[in-house]
Chain A
Amino acid sequence: MTSIRINHEKIVNAEELPKLCPFGAIEQNERGQIEILPSCRMCKMCIRKGPAGVFELDEGEVVQVDRSAWQGILVYVDHSMGEINPLTYELLGKAGEMARKTGQPVYAVMAGDGIRELAPELGHYGADKIFVYDFPELRHFRIEPYAAVLHDLILKEKPSTVLVGGTTVGRSLAPRVAARLRTGLTADCTQLDMQANTDLDQIRPAFGGNIMAHIRTTRTRPQFATVRSKIFPTPARNPEPGGEIVLCEISAEKLQSPIQVQAVREKARVTSLEQADVIVACGRGVKQEKDLALIHSLADALGGAVAATRPLIERGWFDPRVQIGLSGRTVRPKLLITCGISGAIQFVAGMKDAECIISINKDSTAPIIKISHYALIGDLYEIIPGVIELIREKSPVLA
């Protein structure tokens, strides 16, 4: 097995060695001997940064997949209530971009009941082949039949990469099938690229966005990645239809599930934050709940949506569905105005890709400034009323 070996005879200064390990897994025991504890994450930092020769890697045998046997990028089509989730197009756009580099096909797979008429639309977004599993048993999302469908297609088509949207369905389905295939899955990727040898470069945040990790799945196929909505731009819809539609068969037995669906109810429709072109977001700089009227007026004047940071959600001032950030929504509107938001990294993770970011904040050292395209240093209570008034003067709609 791969492990780290300690060459005790090369140790000069044993006291210094525990400091090398970011996970506290190097310890000097009571006999003064250096040990590696089970908390070792095999980050190999001790090998790279430690005194030469003290820590060495013992390579185990590596089983390597034949990469050439797995070709193509497969996108799982997320849909609900007869509508394709726009996230699917974002994934198809990214898949197309990567496929052009490596000359691979782009596949899409959809599962559901009465969904085949949705399939042609995927061709407008660059899917070369669209595999459709259209069966009454797939009417409701239940894990076993959905996993069976995705697994079935992967075994038949052998795609090199599988991209799944980070929706509630995707986050349930992708790990299930990745485990069945004993392959790697990287969750919530924020950047993807492809090497010439079809290895997928995956970048994702960890530790609440405080660090970024670059991850590859080199030994197994396919490589699974999930991506949340609005991470990648929506590609332009090609007016020409395209893509071959393949209606797939699967044995009835694989569509069985012991899970019984008793009822399905729709959640109250709020215009989803992800769809808004203009968002006005507010944070702790707003002192009282009644002051939110100011924020709403600004959003109304711009025809935009209102969003908030986590502290305001926790105060109960907003529905959690309008929270921007790592534990909320990821947005990339054309315009985002932040009011009284300092820019904690968790918030920034959910909005940094907005096309134009304007921040209004009193603190000239707040982290939000470096994220903004335009940073206004000042009191939102003094700036926003003037803005609303000036917009009203200009705009016929609101006058």
Chain B
Amino acid sequence: MEIIVCIKQVPSNSNVQVDPKTGVLIRSGIETKINPYDLFAIEAALRIKEKTGAKIKTISMGPPQATEAIKEAFSMGIEEGYLLTDRGFAGADVLATSYALSQGIRKIGLPALILCGKQTTDGDTAQVGPEIAEFLHIPHVTHVLGISGITEKAITLDHDLQDHIQTITVPFPCLLTVEKDIFQPRLPSYLLKQETARREIAQINLADLDDKNEQHYGLNGSPTQVVKIFPPLNDRSYEIWEENPEELSRKLVQLLSSKKFIQVRS
């Protein structure tokens, strides 16, 4: 049995701002890390491996530096890593990203199970997993809360549907996006890090994919376009009250009464 975990390298913090004058994105530093939600997918894969002896691979799409994220996955116990990288992928939105990843996964070979984190911390869309599954023509389940059984042929899991939970059995091949806290992710191991420091990471470029049509990737393959980015607006007028606590309590109750939030004794 094989598992592919999709991971992404994201900025270490989301403290980005937009210069209100120039509209330029200002990032504090360019430190990166594995998207924290992906750690839960990696952990889920490792737990399944412990039960079934599955082989775990990871794929990431990004610039050459994204190999760092793959190395981090190695130090948690992932065995093989693939980097999907090409200038032709630049400017990819959800659709073009998912399509490129689905092509990359076909190139590696469709595994029994594909695992993704629930979303990334930079894009926050939570949509890439389901789109990959569509392009691969396999079922998907999002919001997976827990795994209760696994056989050669299928996986049984709890699917969060907001006000209720479904327990379902999904045959392989399939794609799951796991909720955070499905399992506590292990820390990277120093020993594994040493052992895997030189492990090769295979690069997959656009020319390696089955579909080499550049119109399907990057900005060309992206139906959504960013018209502009801007800082969150705040033009609210507000009152500041700075009296002593007794006076503040009194004024607040008066305000709440005048706005009819308190039922006044008649």
A binding-site residues for B, Cβ under 8 Å = 1-3, 22-25, 36-43, 45, 49, 60-61, 63, 80-81, 140-144, 147, 167-169, 171-176, 178-180, 182-188, 201, 205-220, 257-267, 269, 278, 302, 326, 334-335, 345, 356, 358, 360, 364, 369-379, 382-387, 389-391, 394-397, 399
With the chains together, A176 CA to B102 CA distance in Å?
A: 13
Given contacts A38-B89, A214-B229, contact A261 B168 (CB under 8 A): yes
User: Which residue on A lies nearest to B99, using beta carbons?
Assistant: A179
Contact indicator A386/B168 (Cβ below 8 Å): no
Q: Which residues of B are found within 8 Å of A379, using beta-carbon distances?
A: 245
B-side residues, CB < 8 A to A, are 11, 14-18, 22, 24-27, 30, 62-65, 85-91, 93-95, 98-99, 121-131, 133-135, 139-143, 156, 160-171, 214-215, 218-220, 222-234, 236, 238-246, 248-250, 252-253, 255-257, 259, 261-265
Chain B residue at smallest Cβ distance from A141: B161
Bound complex: CA A132 to CA B227 (Å): 36
Compute how far the CA of A185 lies from the CA of B128 in the bound complex, rounded to whole angstroms: 11
Chain B residues whose CB sits within 8 angstroms of the CB of A335 once the complex forms:
256, 259, 261
Docked pose: A211 CA to B163 CA in angstroms: 31
Q: How far is the CA of A36 from the CA of B171 in the complex (A)?
A: 43
| Known contacts A168-B160, A211-B25, A211-B232; A180/B63 CB under 8 A | no
Could you list 27 examples of A-B contacts with CB < 8 Å? A1-B214, A1-B215, A3-B219, A37-B64, A80-B164, A81-B163, A169-B161, A176-B133, A178-B131, A179-B134, A183-B95, A209-B232, A211-B231, A211-B232, A214-B229, A219-B223, A259-B171, A265-B164, A267-B163, A335-B259, A356-B259, A374-B238, A374-B241, A377-B240, A386-B245, A390-B253, A391-B256
Give A327 to B163 CA distance when docked, in angstroms: 17
B232 contacts A345, CB within 8 Å? Answer: yes
Query: Chain A residues near B240 (CB, 8 Å)?
Result: 364, 369, 375, 377
State in angstroms the CA–CA spacing of A394 and B228 once bound together: 51
Q: Are A372 and B230 in contact (CB under 8 A)?
A: no
Complex: chain A residue closest to B66, CB-CB: A39
- Across the interface, B95 reaches (CB within 8 A) one of A2, A60, A178, A334, namely A178
> Contact check: which of A140, A345, A360, A371 meets B166 at CB < 8 Å?
A140
Interface contact B26-A168, CB-CB below 8 Å: no
A213 touches B163 (CB 8 A): no
Cβ contact within 8 Å between B224 and A38: no
The 10 closest A-B pairs by CB, nearest first: A42-B91, A386-B249, A39-B63, A184-B223, A22-B25, A382-B245, A208-B14, A184-B224, A175-B127, A179-B134
CB-based nearest B residue for A39: B63
Q: Which residues of A contact B232 (CB under 8 A)?
A: 205, 209-212, 345
Contact of B252 among A171, A269, A387 (CB under 8 A): A387
Check if A217 sits within 8 Å of B224, measured CB to CB: yes
Interface contact A81-B86, CB-CB below 8 Å = no
Residue in chain A with minimal CB distance to B241: A376
- Count of chain A to chain B residue pairs whose CB atoms are closer than 8 Å in the complex: 322
A206–B122 touching, CB < 8 Å: yes
Q: CA A215 – CA B229 in complex, angstroms?
A: 9
- Chain A interface mostly helix, strand, loop or mixed? mixed
- Min CB distance A322 to B, Å, is 15
B residues near A399, Cβ cutoff 8 Å:
265
B residues less than 8 Å from A260 (CB atoms):
168-169
Q: Which of B18, B165, B169, B253 contacts A259 (CB 8 A)?
A: B169
Indicate whether A175 sits within 8 Å of B160 (C-beta atoms), given known contacts A263-B167, A386-B245.
Answer: no
Q: Is the CB of A206 within 8 A of B167?
A: no
Are the C-beta atoms of A22 and B27 separated by less than 8 Å?
yes
State how many angstroms separate the Cβ of B72 from the closest Cβ of chain A. 18
Name which residue of chain A comes closest to B143, CB basis: A168
Q: For residue B243, which residues in chain A have a CB less than 8 angstroms away from its CB?
A: 378
B220 touches A60 (CB 8 A): yes
Complex CA–CA separation, A269 to B163 (angstroms)? 8
Within 8 Å CB of B88, what residues of A? 1
Task: List chain B residues, Cβ under 8 A from A220.
Answer: 223
Contacts of B228 in A (CB 8 A): 213-214
A38 touches B140 (CB 8 A): no
Contact across chains for A370 and B130 when beta carbons are under 8 A apart: no
Taking a contact as CB atoms under 8 Å apart, the answer to whether B86 and A370 are in contact is no
State A261–B232 Cα separation when bound (angstroms).
Answer: 43
Asked if B168 and A259 sit within 8 Å, CB to CB, the answer is yes
Q: Which one of B156, B167, B220 lies within 8 Å of A2 (CB-CB)?
A: B220
Q: Which residues of A contact B219 (CB under 8 A)?
A: 1-3, 42
The residues of B that contact A206 with a CB separation of less than 8 Å are 122-124, 229
**In the complex, given contacts A169-B161, A217-B225, A391-B262, what are 19 additional A-B residue pairs having Cβ atoms less than 8 angstroms apart?**
A1-B220, A24-B30, A37-B64, A37-B87, A43-B25, A43-B226, A178-B127, A179-B95, A184-B94, A187-B94, A205-B232, A208-B121, A212-B230, A214-B227, A262-B169, A269-B163, A370-B236, A387-B249, A387-B253
Partner of B93, one of A63, A173, A184, A269: A184
Residue of A nearest to B88 (CB): A1
Partner of A394, one of B130, B169, B239, B257: B257
Most buried by B among A22, A81, A220: A22
B167 CB to closest chain A CB, in angstroms?
4
State the CA gap A140–B246 with chains docked (Å): 56
- In the assembled complex, the CB of B166 is this many whole angstroms from the nearest CB of chain A, namely 5
Cα distance A342–B234 in the bound complex, in angstroms: 16
Instruction: Evaluate contact between A172 and B143: CB separation under 8 angstroms.
Output: yes
Set of chain B residues within 8 Å of A385, measured between Cβ atoms:
249
Q: How far is the CB of A368 from chain B (nearest CB, A)?
A: 10
Q: Check B24–A180 contact: CB distance below 8 A.
A: no
Say yes or no: A40 contacts B162, CB within 8 Å: no
Closest chain-A Cβ to B128's Cβ sits at a distance in Å of 8
In the bound complex, do residue A390 and residue B30 qualify as a contact, i.e. CB atoms below 8 Å apart?
Answer: no
Separation in Å of the A392 CB from the closest CB of chain B?
A: 10
Question: Which chain A positions have C-beta within 8 A of B238?
Answer: 369-375
Residue of B nearest to A226 (CB): B127
